[in-house]
Structure 1
Amino acid sequence: MIVTLPVSKKTEFGYFLKEDDAEILLHQNEATGAPLHVGDEIEVFLYHDHENRLAATMEMPIVRLGEYGWLEVVDIAPKMGVFLHNGVKKDLLLFVDDLPKLRDEWPRPGDRLLVTLKRDRHGRLLAKPVTEEEIQAFAVPAGREMHNKWVEGTVYKVIQAGAFLFTEDEHVLFIHREEMTEKLRLGQTVRCRVSFVREDGRLNGSMRAPKEVQYGEDAKRLLQYMADRGGAMPYTDDTPADIIREKFAMSKASFKRALGKLLKEQKIEQDEGWTHLKREELDRLLENEQS
């Protein structure tokens, strides 16, 4: 809460401000600008300190009640949640109940979250993540010209099927897990390609290059993997999809397309559940590494 209050008392460690019948401490470290005097009226932000006492600061928050903004994650408390920097000395808690159930989907220090403020039952300020309804209210519909463009977006919601991002141009973009090159977490900013523009102006995206480019990149990855293992790997078209995703971070379909490309180019051969580099291809790769 931002209020204007008079200085009622000055002490060696700060000032007391008068609010009705209460006196609120403005610590010397929280006072900015010229020295204050009794009777001065100053604008302050009220918050609860670490001992749950109402305190004041002349520093202003980045996000205020009723507003939304991006705040940086500065600390993690596994049993409580994550702390965000809101422009004042006391960091803002985003409670564990408002975070994903899986810990590897939690944000990390340096990530950014789109939040507003709320009060708990004791009147203390907490962070509140943006909801889907609120995103819809200020998101900008995308046009057809966005198709195949590369954009940056920050994850604001993670679900089992994938992740929702809010882009720099304020578009909503969804990335399916099959289109990720790594598992995404809340607050992570990534670069992705717009793969489809929906009728409602929302976007579908992919962290992968277009298929014709991706085939080549996936094939190179498999070649290098086999070269590093002496020229062979125990994976073929029949390998289960979950093993392929774990080993190569690609879908079964992408894996099969990459193998098909290498077979067509006669760089590999398959036998009894193994894929082998042909001798001349292995020699070429090893020679390139040494040069």
Structure 2
Amino acid sequence: MVEIGKFNKLKVVKHVDFGVYLDGGELGEILMPIRYVPDGCKDNDVVEVFVYRDSEDRVIATTEQPYAVIDDFAFLKAVSVNNIGAFLDWGLMKDLFVPFREQEKTMEEGESYVVKIYLDTKSDRIAASSRLTRFLDKTPADYKEGQSVDLLICGLTDLGYKAVINDSHMGIIYKNEVFQKIDIGWNVKGFIKKIREDGKIDLSLQEAGHERIGGAAEIILSKIKEAGGFIPATDKSAPDVIYKLFGVSKKVYKKACGALYKKRLILINEKGLKLTDKP
């Protein structure tokens, strides 16, 4: 069965002056315009193509690669806006339509947005929506605290960054716990920090502190050695300064320094961290 909005492997039925026709099963023969036909393509060859409807509602095949397909979340740029909606660049000649009713906020030309690509069942056309929550899994999340997950940063609130988790749930990374550069549309690795009683999910960009102390301690020790035996970092240093120096959160930094101090590998004073004479 041919799936509109996805890649399909279809057999070449016949050649014509303006392209080739592919066996589309229940959809009949599907045209692949000549500009998309691979060199050396022959009848009965099987080709992998993306299938969609063109502006005249015809089912068309292309060997072009869209940036995303149906059911994907993607970060796409609005290339035009008119009185019926917005159009996004998604890598194909025909832009991707976002109806006004599917815009979380009114889209502006030149701006980029995180959207969900879907098939409009009424028109059988591919469309996109920035109203992400209605496409997310409504069942309670069964993630484990500390579990590694894939995140798509999709919004910014007063509390922090909203992120889509594994294409299925929404979570938040609190602003005061972000120690690296991230932005809307970025795909990053993250961790489940906590699932609250109301079902909302707190996220972290770093592993839980107790899992990272060993590696963090090694990093801090190595950085002090590289700096000649002393680094002016203290408990009063700002979290972003700590992250810039060592690539860890301030909480992890303090625990790692405590571990190094107990092993008598460093001295800690009001000016910073200093190596001991211990080999």
Which TM-score tier does this pair reach, normalised by the shorter chain?
A: 0.5 to 0.7
Distance, in Å, in 2 between the alignment partners of 1:198 and 1:186 is: 24
How many residues are paired up? Answer: 223
**Are residue 45 (structure 1) and residue 36 (structure 2) matched?**
no
Distance, in Å, in 2 between the alignment partners of 1:220 and 1:277 is: 13
TM-score normalised according to structure 1 size = 0.56
| Structure 2 alignment gaps of length 5 or more | 5-15, 20-31, 44-50, 80-86, 98-106
Give the alignment of 1:257-268 within 5 angstroms: 257-268=255-266
- Please tell me whether the aligned partners of residues 234 and 270 of structure 2 are also in contact (alpha carbons under 8 angstroms): no
Distance, in Å, in 1 between the alignment partners of 2:198 and 2:65 is: 32
Q: 1:242 to 1:193 in 2, by over 3 A?
A: closer
- Please tell me whether the aligned partners of residues 224 and 275 of structure 2 are also in contact (alpha carbons under 8 angstroms): yes
Distance, in Å, in 1 between the alignment partners of 2:181 and 2:77 is: 21
Distance, in Å, in 2 between the alignment partners of 1:96 and 1:126 is: 21
Give the alignment of 1:131-170 within 5 angstroms: 131-135=131-135, 138-143=137-142, 146-159=144-157, 161-168=159-166, 170=168
Distance, in Å, in 2 between the alignment partners of 1:98 and 1:72 is: 10
- Match in the other structure for 1:197: 195
Give the alignment of 1:44-83 within 5 angstroms: 45-47=53-55, 58-59=60-61, 69-70=71-72, 83=89
Letter of the 1:45 counterpart: R
- Please tell me whether the aligned partners of residues 241 and 251 of structure 1 are also in contact (alpha carbons under 8 angstroms): yes
- Match in the other structure for 1:247: 245
Distance, in Å, in 2 between the alignment partners of 1:196 and 1:217 is: 23
Partner secondary structure for residue 263 of structure 1: helix
- Please tell me whether the aligned partners of residues 44 and 58 of structure 1 are also in contact (alpha carbons under 8 angstroms): yes
1:228 to 226, 229, 235: 226
Partner secondary structure for residue 223 of structure 1: helix
- Please tell me whether the aligned partners of residues 233 and 276 of structure 1 are also in contact (alpha carbons under 8 angstroms): yes
Distance, in Å, in 2 between the alignment partners of 1:276 and 1:238 is: 16
Q: 1:135 to 1:202 in 2, by over 3 A?
A: farther
Partner secondary structure for residue 54 of structure 2: strand
Give the alignment of 1:260-279 within 5 angstroms: 260-271=258-269, 273-279=271-277
Q: 1:246 to 1:201 in 2, by over 3 A?
A: same
- Please tell me whether the aligned partners of residues 73 and 84 of structure 1 are also in contact (alpha carbons under 8 angstroms): no
Q: 1:225 to 1:242 in 2, by over 3 A?
A: same
Partner secondary structure for residue 147 of structure 1: coil
- Please tell me whether the aligned partners of residues 153 and 161 of structure 2 are also in contact (alpha carbons under 8 angstroms): yes
Distance, in Å, in 1 between the alignment partners of 2:88 and 2:223 is: 38
- Match in the other structure for 1:8: none
Letter of the 1:131 counterpart: R
Distance, in Å, in 2 between the alignment partners of 1:73 and 1:273 is: 45
Greater than 6 Å deviation, 4+ residue runs? 30-35, 54-57, 60-63, 73-77
- Match in the other structure for 1:171: 169
**Are residue 96 (structure 1) and residue 110 (structure 2) matched?**
yes
Cα drift, residue 225 of structure 1: 0.8
TM-score normalised according to structure 2 size = 0.58
Partner secondary structure for residue 146 of structure 1: coil
| Structure 1 alignment gaps of length 5 or more | 3-10, 15-25, 36-42, 48-53, 100-106, 108-112, 119-124, 285-291
Cα drift, residue 132 of structure 1: 4.9
How much identity, in percent, do the aligned residues show? 20
Partner secondary structure for residue 72 of structure 2: strand
Cα drift, residue 233 of structure 1: 0.7
Distance, in Å, in 2 between the alignment partners of 1:174 and 1:243 is: 23
TM-superposition CA deviations, 1:186-215 (whole Å, max 9, x none): 343333322211233332122322222223
Letter of the 1:153 counterpart: L
Structure of higher CA gyration radius: 1
Query: Which structure: greater helix fraction?
Result: 1
